[in-house]
Structure 1
Amino acid sequence: MPEIKDDEKVKKSLKNLLPIFAFVLSYKKMLAAALIALLFTAAVSLSLGQGVRLVIDSGFVEGSKAQLANAIGVIIVMIALLAIGTFTRFYLMSWLGERVSADIRKKVFNQLVSLHPSYFEENRSGELMSRLTTDTTLLQSIIGSSFSMALRSALMLVGGLIMLLVTNLKLSLIVIGSVPVVLLPMMFYGKKVRTLAKKSQDSIADISTYAGEIIQNIKVVQSYTHETQEKAAFGQEAENAFEVAKKRIKQRSVLIAAAILLSYCAISVMLWVGGSDVLDGVITAGELAAFVFYAIMVAMSFATIAEVYGELQRAAGSAERLIDLMAVESEIRVPLKLATMDSQAKEVIRFSAVSFRYPSRPDDPALINIDLGIEKGKVIALVGPSGAGKTTLFELLQRFYDPQDGEIRFNNAPLTKLNPTDLRKHMGVVPQHPILFSSDVWHNIRYGRPEATREEVIAAAKKAHAHEFVSMLPDGYDSFLGEQGVRLSGGQKQRIALARAILKDPEVLLLDEATSALDAESEHHVQAALNELMKGRTTLIIAHRLATVVHADQIVLMDKGAIIATGNHNQLIKESALYKRLSELQFKRTNEAIE
């Protein structure tokens, strides 16, 4: 029974390659041309055996230089044809491998950027990057090289066996009798290679994840002088991956060596029998030479198939990981029937009895029975202790998640009946910690509206109080900002993010405490830019410092996922003990700081 289960696993694993090869069928003409070149080179290679027979029997044995020259000329023509066919086959199959690898990468990336955010809470980014790069590279090698070798070897194996039978039946039976002996180690060690290949890919993913996290947080590592510990920890991860790879390499080496040993032992036995027949005059020396040529060809084909079989086992593990990823369905789907937004609606946003739990924390309610309406053009401030649910409201409003209970409407249309892309086009977000990309200033600001002209980008930068410092950068708007904008200060990054939001010109503005982490001068510039941006827009502000929202049209006080009170600053001071306590604590700290 265990053997049956292992065989089923092997079959299931190799079946994972079938959806990958479906990508190849998108290029039928290139595939057909490559297969024709493959058949051509196989036919020429098999014909070389007869050329060898001709050289020995017509040249050496007959003792005729003219016949020898003719035979050599035939072989040279065959070799030239083989070189042309090999070039064509190699180019076409390599082209297919690279093309399909690029297609798979694009499909995997498209899948990743369309998945719901909770998926990334449960899966490590380093592992996903490993699937996108390492796994697809391995598949490119399989399609562009190993698959071609496997087909060519299979053709040479079948053709070689046929030519063996045609050349000498008795010697052929010796070769064919050795086939089961050669196949046994392939079947036995192939299972081990497959298991170790998947472990090897997983260990590489662990290394990528660990290294990516350390590099991303290098300042923290160096600040706490953890370089030595991290070097040791990464070294251990690398050694673990090496140990797994070493076991895989050992099994593959044994597989290949066993196949070669048994194949050439069978050839040695065949040579002894064939040599005896030549001495007895049963066959000619040319026939024996041709037979040896075909026997070596069959043996090499067996060895190649053994090697490729190990590669296929390894690729099957990669294919399985990619197929699993491409099969994931986003929990945030575009509805079949879309609702229509009412641009004249008085209430832009309406939360009705909304309750929500994050998928990664199903027993911890993030929002409880939220009822809130927001009118067009109003400034609404969300305040309360950390963990009150303020940021969660922003995430639900952008439909990164759907609530388990209740309904959210935007311009009088249910969010679940809107295309998420269309919905998000109406919103501009300025987070507390701005996200910049590893590119220049143009790209980072244009992220708000890619089709914007250079003049529009500069105008947005001026409104965001960013133009002055951008102009002083070494290459101005063409300046590369480094990974996550590392070459800019916190205030400068925030102003770039504001310019992006200004350029987008959204209907609803979501501000997540956009000035809390800034110094006084940077806060002055950012606040001035915010005042410009908020004009005539519906604005939601998450605020931890109450001094920044005392002039809001409405303040919503939240605690433990629920709305505790709503009103303006003066009303809440009188009606809410929690708001009064938060206000007194903050203004007291401010006065103490001033003194």
Structure 2
Amino acid sequence: MSEQLSASQVTGEVVADLKPDKKIAILFELIQFISPYKGHILAAFIALIFTAAVMLSVGQGVRMLIDEGFAQQSIEQLQQAVLFILAITVLIAGGTFARFYLVSWLGERVSADIRLAVFNHVITLHPSYFETNGSGDIMSRITTDTTLLQSIIGSSFSMAIRSALMLIGALVMLFATNIKLTLIVLLSVPFILVPILFYGRKVRKLSRKSQDSMADVGSYAGEAIEHIKTVQSYTHEQHERHAFGEEVEKAFQIGRSRIKQRATLIAGVIIIVFGAITGMLWVGGSDVIQGTMSGGDLGAFVFYAILVASSLATISEVLGELQRAAGATERLIEILQVESHILPPVKNTIAAKNLNAEISFQQVSFNYPSRPDQAATQTLNLTAKQGKVLALVGPSGAGKTTLFELLQRFYDPQAGKITLGGTDIRQLDPKDLRQQMALVPQQPALFSSDVFHNIRYGKPEASDEEVIAAAKKAHAHEFISQLPEGYNSFLGERGVRLSGGQRQRIAIARAILKDPHILLLDEATSALDSESEHHVQQALEELMRGRTTIIIAHRLSTIKHADHIAVLDQGQLVDIGDHQSLLQTCDLYQRLVELQFKQVIASV
């Protein structure tokens, strides 16, 4: 799959700068996904040629039926003609079965490969990409767009090839049957091409808009459902219905315009083609009456002319589908062309597990890509010593969470460096670096699966016994055992079936199972009741033992036990020390203590 991804790494500007009448060329990007299945393609192509050739033989059966059966009033000749047509029908059915199966299989396989390639690429992208690209839009590309391509590759594309073969073969047979009538049919071709080219361009533009509007619909619905409790709490159901209705109506209007253009295209082609056939029937019928042409030849000619007409109609319809496919392919290729800003070093990679767990921020300055004029950190110097606990305190926007994201190399600073054991983390493979860390956030991320899966996420190869041991250390084993199916209990989306304290202990068990050198805690007890806090605090003490720990602190109990407390404000280090010394020397710390920990201090 990596070969497929690398093959698609052309610049995004190339796609953006394509002229509208050339954008369909982007479909050639699909070749990299289709080419691994050359055997299936060859077999499908053979079935296509066989079916087309046999279909063309039906015209000769029609000629035999009229000239040798009807004209000569011969039952024997009629029987032979009917048996010939019947045999041809059986062969057509067999060839169609093979073609349909092979091409449909190819469509399913290629769409699955594209879906996998896009997903595999998306999960490696830097977080800043998701600041400007919504998850709903990305999911629409992975699901809706790949499903559309599946239809195109597995059906429309083979119809186009079959129709093209039938068109060429039928034209040859037309010339062989009657040159004069063939020229009449061919006079209509330029009139067919004009609407195809004119309306095709409009269909292409509307197809891209249609795909984008459907992504907006999915994104809006997903967001409303994700925050359903907030929606209902504020009684915004009617507002959300109205807003979602507007999004759906917008998508419908775009889809209606696209359908109208396609319908106009198809109707125009049909009128022109069958108008030409009608004219041909007048001329041909006159020739039969005058005796210059047999009725069988005219019957065969009409059959081939209908094949030409239906092939042209199918091709014009498929061209409309290909316009939609071009829009879908463009959206998918855009994702595959995005290059991650966080890459492992090309050479001289250092193994992170061999470094000691001392972390140092040296003159670090960083601005988020979405806020380039607002500094998240400014020339920050800070060290977390190996095996010690460093607490980060400060008002909202001080840069506490930013340090976690920089340390995990979700972003790289614009200036300065971050070191692990004295080595710049940019010299480490990001995966190797993150393997040495475990994050326990305020709102832990649980997956729609069972307890085993959620804890084992910290160490996928762990045995059931190791998972249970980690749960016991996290003080989670007791409540897990009381769940309906124990460790096999399904937790619902985002662990909705558990309380806040239970979700925290599952996340802590995951971190314990990972057994990291560095622990990052975004105060896991700040939103819990007293009983839950007690259990989680016990679990955290077990987890923190002997590890380098950095805590975004909100509670006095956490701060008082930290070896060092760093006070941050507007991305800068204001002061550092222990609790007692900062109470004496740091005005900001004193104010934070008074505001955030006033009730706790009063009870001490």
TM-score by length of 1: 0.97
1:559-579 Cα shifts (integer Å, max 9, x gaps): 110111111111111111111
SS at match of 1:16: helix
Distance 2:400 2:83 in 1: 84
Pairing 1:47–2:57 present: yes
Q: Secondary structure at the match of 2:413?
A: coil
1:191-590 aligned within 5 A = 191-341=201-351, 348-590=358-600
Distance 1:347 1:369 in 2: 22
* CA drift at 1:344: 7.0
Hey, what does 2:179 align to over in structure 1? 169
- Please report how far the alpha carbon of residue 303 of structure 1 lies from its aligned counterpart in structure 2 after TM superposition: 0.4
User: Which letter does structure 1 place at the counterpart of 2:587?
Assistant: A
**How much does 1:585 deviate?**
3.3
- 1:495-541 CA-to-partner distances (Å, cap 9, x unmatched) read 11001001100010000111101000000000000000111111111
- Per the alignment, residue 3 of structure 1 pairs with none
Q: Within 2, Cα distance between the matches of 1:296 and 1:458?
A: 72
Paired letter, 2:457: Y
Q: Distance in 2 between matches of 1:345 and 1:78?
A: 75
**2-side partners of 1:137 and 1:586: how far apart?**
52
1:466-501 Cα deviation digits (max 9, x unpaired): 111111111111111111111111111111100100
Task: In structure 2, give the amino acid aligned to 1:142.
Answer: I
Q: Write the distance in 2 (CA, Å) between the matches of 1:35 and 1:142.
A: 16
**1:73 pairs with 2:83:** yes
Separation of aligned partners in 1, 2:29 and 2:71: 55
CA distance in structure 2 between the aligned counterparts of 1:513 and 1:374, rounded to whole angstroms? 17
For residues 61 and 595 of structure 2, the distance between their equivalents in structure 1, rounded to whole angstroms, comes to: 97
Check whether the contact 2:352–2:436 (CA below 8 A) recurs between aligned residues. no
1:15 counterpart (25, 29, 37):
25
1:136 counterpart residue number: 146
* Post-superposition offset of 1:377: 0.6
Residue in structure 1 matched with residue 124 of structure 2 by the alignment: 114
Q: Secondary structure at the match of 1:25?
A: helix
In 1, the alpha carbon distance for the partners of 2:301 and 2:595 equals: 96
- Quick one: structure 1 residues 336 and 8, their matched pair in 2 at CA, closer, same or farther if it must change by over 3 Å? closer
Greater alpha carbon shift after TM alignment, 490-499 vs 17-26: 17-26
Q: 1:223-257: CA deviations, max 9, x gaps?
A: 11111111111111111111111111111001001
Structure-1 separation of matches of 2:194 and 2:100: 31
Shift in CA distance, 33/189, structure 1 to aligned 2, threshold 3 Å: same
Q: Report how many residues are paired.
A: 588
> Which amino acid counterpart does residue 240 of structure 1 have in structure 2?
K
| Contact 2:554–2:596 (8 Å) recurs in 1 | no
Instruction: Measure the CA separation in 2 of the matches of 1:65 and 1:345.
Output: 95
Alpha-carbon deviation of 1:416?
A: 1.0
Change (3 A) 1:54 1:303: same
Query: Relative to 1, partners in 2 of residues 1:582 and 1:167: Cα closer, same or farther, differing over 3 Å?
Result: same
Q: How far 1:185 moved relative to its partner?
A: 1.1
CA distance in 1, matches of 2:284, 2:352: 90
Offset of residue 58 of structure 1: 1.1
- Residues 1:82 and 2:119 are matched in the alignment: no
Contact kept? 1:198, 1:317, Cα under 8 Å:
yes
Contact 2:392-2:552 within 8 A present in 1 as well: yes
Asked whether the equivalents of residues 332 and 399 of structure 1 are also in contact (C-alpha less than 8 Å), the reply is yes
- TM superposition shift of 1:458: 0.6
Cα distance change of structure 1 residues 385 and 286 upon mapping to structure 2, 3 Å threshold: same
Q: Which 10-residue stretch deviates more, 502-511 or 575-584?
A: 575-584
The change in CA–CA distance for 1:312 and 1:423 in structure 2 (over 3 A counts) is same
- The aligned counterpart of 2:66 is 56
CA contact (8 A) 2:357 2:517 kept: no
- Whether the 8 Å CA contact 1:339–1:414 is kept in 2: the answer is no
Structure 1 contact 341–410 (Cα < 8 Å) conserved? no
Q: TM-score, normalised by structure 2?
A: 0.95
Report the more deviating stretch, 548-557 or 203-212.
548-557
- Structure 2 alignment gaps of length 5 or more: 1-16
Residue by residue over 1:424-448, the C-alpha shift from the partner in whole angstroms, topping out at 9 and shown as x without a partner, is 0000100011110111111110100
Instruction: Assess if the C-alpha contact under 8 Å between 2:357 and 2:387 holds in 1.
Output: no
Cα distance, 1:88–1:395 mapped onto 2, change above 3 Å: same
Is the contact made by 1:182 and 1:262 (CA closer than 8 Å) also made in structure 2? yes
Question: Which blocks of at least 5 consecutive residues in structure 1 are unaligned?
Answer: 1-6
Q: Deviations over 1:66-86 (max 9, x none)?
A: 111111111111111110000
Give the Cα–Cα distance (whole angstroms) in 1 for the partners of residues 87 and 421 of structure 2: 77
How far apart, in 2, do the equivalents of 1:378 and 1:424 lie?
A: 19
Q: Which moved more, 1:87-96 or 1:477-486?
A: 477-486
Q: Distance in 2 between matches of 1:496 and 1:483?
A: 14
The residue type paired with residue 103 of structure 1 is D
CA shift digits 1:274-304 (9 cap, x unpaired): 0010011101100000000000000000100
Match of 1:4 in 2: none
Q: Which deviations, in whole Å up to 9, do the C-alpha atoms of 1:47-97 show, x marking residues without a partner?
A: 111111111111111111111111111111111111000000000000000
Distance 2:456 2:80 in 1: 71
Partner secondary structure for residue 368 of structure 1: strand
2:157 aligns with one of 142, 147, 159: 147
Q: Pick from 180, 190, 197: which aligns with 1:187?
A: 197
Which residue type is aligned with residue 497 of structure 2? R
CA contact (8 A) 1:178 1:266 kept: yes
Q: Are residues 64 and 312 of structure 1, via their aligned partners in 2, closer, same or farther at CA, if it must alter by over 3 Å?
A: same
